[in-house]
Structure 1
Amino acid sequence: MRHVADIPHPEMKLTLLAWNGKYLLKCEQGPFEQTYKVAELDLLGGDAELPQVLDEAFVAAVLRRFAEMRTDFGDALERHDLV
């Protein structure tokens, strides 16, 4: 796996990796992680095109999903009296 870039963002860590003919966009916030895989051939301009994909709507959706993940995990812990 090859590290391509760290993409600055104030609310999460964004890392772009290349592996096995795919780009992997790894989004991390605290203990939670989301990974998006894109075939290298789908980005004809190479990894330079990826920042265009990271528009406001996409980033907002990723952040909402992190909030949902925290809620889901917290709810599961409460159901089993683990908090």
Structure 2
Amino acid sequence: MDEVIAQAPAHIPLDDVKNIFEKHNHNVIDTLAELWDIKETVPKEKTKWETIRDTCDTFDNEMSKCIKKTHVYDGSRITTNIELNK
């Protein structure tokens, strides 16, 4: 709370600062953003594992598309389009 009070604008009463601090569940960054009326958010950089997960998701989606084109599920078994064309 002391950090918020020290960095809050001088023209805002202490009670208002405390109420806003409680409204944001004691989150210093969100409280200061509201006190200073900051609207722009800083984009969060992806971590190494988020990048890996995105890459894996892309591979999964492409494989799924490929399988849907070449395989058919009839409710009881999966057959390939090659088997259906015989």
Fold match (TM-score > 0.5): no
Q: TM-score, normalised by structure 1?
A: 0.37
TM-score (norm 2): 0.36
